[in-house]
């Protein structure tokens, strides 16, 4: 699935943008985020060579910007104790294909920054990791790729943190599902009403409250009421989380 999706995505990039870097407009640049599974598929050779080559060419030419994230890196190092060679191969593949430039912050930090900026009437800060922090991450990764084991304790903690995060995510999604079903019940009680209800109509009714649920734990409830939920929902990280 990841292989087929990447191939189709790369084809779209070349169909929609010019290959001439001198004439390509800023609007012609495609920005994308690759799921960790795609990086894993490329590392183990499951993606056709032609697609990998096209992907690399798009990144090198500037047609495609696909920065790696801290979340990607956290997941990639998860098997450092049970399958270290595979972990190293995956990290090396990421470094070769997209590099460690412009690393994205953790998703939770991006979401928090966007909500707090909206609540304060400010422009959302960059989604990229501060350069000083990025350099620290890159140095550690370079040592790991060179065969060093000095950071094994940190890698072990990262693996545990990722497991804890996934457990928390699952619990949160189960709670969100229960809430969504309750919201749906309030909008359309009968099965016939639900069949007639479009997703657009349901989203328009339920999405603002979903957006508010992200803001309230950050202490932004008062500010979001002042500035409005529609504006909060328009923040791209919030809208992505809401769905």
**Does 111 have pLDDT greater than 50?**
yes
Confidence class for position 23, pLDDT limits 50, 70, 90: very low
Tokens 């649920």 -> residue: 213
Q: Fill in the DSSP letter of residue 216.
A: G
What digits encode the pLDDT tens for the residues 26-47? Answer: 456 788 889 999 999 999 889 8
Give the global pTM: 0.75
Six token digits for residue 116 = 């707090």
**Does 151 have pLDDT greater than 60?**
yes
Lowest mean pLDDT among 80-84, 150-154, 209-213: 209-213
Are 144 and 88 in contact by the 8 Å Cβ rule? The answer is: yes
pLDDT at 224: 65
Confidence class for position 6, pLDDT limits 50, 70, 90: low
Are 119 and 220 in contact by the 8 Å Cβ rule? The answer is: yes
What digits encode the pLDDT tens for the residues 41-96? Answer: 999 889 899 888 989 888 988 888 999 999 999 889 888 888 899 999 999 999 99
- Work out the mean pLDDT of the chain and round it to a whole number: 81
Six token digits for residue 133 = 């922090």
The Cα–Cα gap between 96 and 60 comes to 11
**Does 108 have pLDDT greater than 60?**
yes
b/e string for 79-98 if b means 16 or more Cβ within 10 A? ebeeebeebbbbbebbeebb
**Does 19 have pLDDT greater than 70?**
no
Residue 128 pairs in a beta bridge with 104
End-to-end CA distance of the chain: 22
b/e string for 133-159 if b means 16 or more Cβ within 10 A? ebeeebebbeebeeeeeebeeebeebb
Q: Calculate the alpha carbon distances from 36 to 40, 41, 77, 93, 101 in Å.
A: 6, 9, 11, 12, 17
The Cα–Cα gap between 216 and 224 comes to 9
Q: Which of 43, 78, 56, 44 is nearest to 166 (CA)?
A: 78
The predicted model gives 112-124 an average pLDDT of 87
Q: Which of 26-35, 123-132, 171-180 has the highest mean pLDDT?
A: 123-132
The Cα–Cα gap between 20 and 217 comes to 47
Q: Containing H/E element for 140?
A: helix 131-145
């Amino acid at each position: 699935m990841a292989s087929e999706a990447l191939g189709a995505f790369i084809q779209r990039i070349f169909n929609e943008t010019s290959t001439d870097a001198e004439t390509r407009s800023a609007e012609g640049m495609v920005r994308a985020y690759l799921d960790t599974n795609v990086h894993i598929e490329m590392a183990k050779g499951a993606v056709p060579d032609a697609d990998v080559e096209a992907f690399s060419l798009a990144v090198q030419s500037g047609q495609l910007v696909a920065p790696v994230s801290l979340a990607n890196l956290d997941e990639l190092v998860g098997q450092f104790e049970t399958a270290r060679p595979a972990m190293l191969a995956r990290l090396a593949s990421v470094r070769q294909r997209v590099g460690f430039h412009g690393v994205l912050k953790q998703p939770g930090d991006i979401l928090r920054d966007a909500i707090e900026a909206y609540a304060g009437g400010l422009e959302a800060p960059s989604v990229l990791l501060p350069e000083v922090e990025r350099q620290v991450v890159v140095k550690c990764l370079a040592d790991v790729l060179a065969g060093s084991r000095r950071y094994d304790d940190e890698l072990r903690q990262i693996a545990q943190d990722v497991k804890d995060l996934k457990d928390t995510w699952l619990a949160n999604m189960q709670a969100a599902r229960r809430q969504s079903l309750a919201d749906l019940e309030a909008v359309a009680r009968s099965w016939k009403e639900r069949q007639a209800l479009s997703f657009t109509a349901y989203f328009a009714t339920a999405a603002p409250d979903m957006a508010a649920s992200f803001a309230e734990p950050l202490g932004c409830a008062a500010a979001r009421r002042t500035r409005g939920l529609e504006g909060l929902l328009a923040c791209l990280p919030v809208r992505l989380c809401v769905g």
